[in-house]
């Protein structure tokens, strides 16, 4: 039997209040992805990318939600989606981490995390979420950091 994970999100920022690196650097606000109480951003912080949810233009935020709710496939990744992106612009050209998302009945599966610009597999997951928990968590990211 596979373990069902619990997904939640919360407003977070790239740098904390006393971080010396925030000077002259973009302190992006975003929807942090929390899996079973652990921040995905903190777990993958060494890659200097931020979660793709909860920030950017309204059009960008709606697109990310559609991707994560499997409303539409990614333009060229199909059922892989950018989960962490460039903290400056969110553009995939700058490099990103992707995840394969599948749905089996009422279970969502995140697996096969990859650092795309290096074609490198990241050894985390898979994660399994109940659809109701998952859908609510993804929708809760909309406008969490405002519209930029």
The per-residue pLDDT for range 88-97, each reduced to its tens digit, is 888 899 999 9
Answer for the pair 87, 14: CB distance below 8 angstroms, yes or no: yes
What Rg, from alpha-carbon coordinates, does the chain have?
Answer: 15
Greater model confidence, 148 or 46: 46
Helices (H) and strands (E) in the chain, counts: 3, 9
Nearest to 67 by CA among 78, 58, 51, 54: 78
The per-residue pLDDT for range 72-90, each reduced to its tens digit, is 999 998 889 999 999 988 8
> Does the pLDDT of residue 142 top 80, yes or no?
yes
Greater model confidence, 146 or 49: 49
Q: What gap in Å lies between CA 123 and CA 88, rounded to an integer?
A: 25
pTM strictly above 0.85: yes
Beta bridge partners of 73: none
**90, two tokens:** 């969110």
Give me the residue spans of the domains in the chain: 7-139
Nearest to 145 by CA among 14, 10, 29: 29
């Amino acid at each position: 039997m596979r373990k069902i994970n619990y997904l939640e999100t919360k407003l977070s920022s790239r740098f904390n209040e006393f971080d010396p690196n925030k000077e002259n650097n973009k302190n992006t606000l975003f929807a942090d992805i929390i899996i079973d109480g652990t921040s995905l951003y903190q777990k993958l912080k060494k890659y200097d990318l931020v979660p793709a949810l909860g920030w950017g233009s309204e059009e960008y935020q709606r697109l990310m939600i559609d991707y994560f709710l499997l409303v539409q496939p990614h333009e060229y990744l199909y059922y892989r989606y950018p989960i962490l992106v460039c903290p400056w612009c969110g553009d995939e050209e700058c490099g990103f981490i992707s995840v394969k998302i599948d749905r089996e009945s009422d279970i969502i599966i995140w697996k096969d995390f990859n650092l795309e610009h290096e074609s490198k597999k990241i050894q985390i997951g898979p994660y399994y979420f109940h659809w109701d928990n998952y859908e609510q968590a993804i929708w809760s990211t909309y406008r969490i950091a405002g519209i930029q």
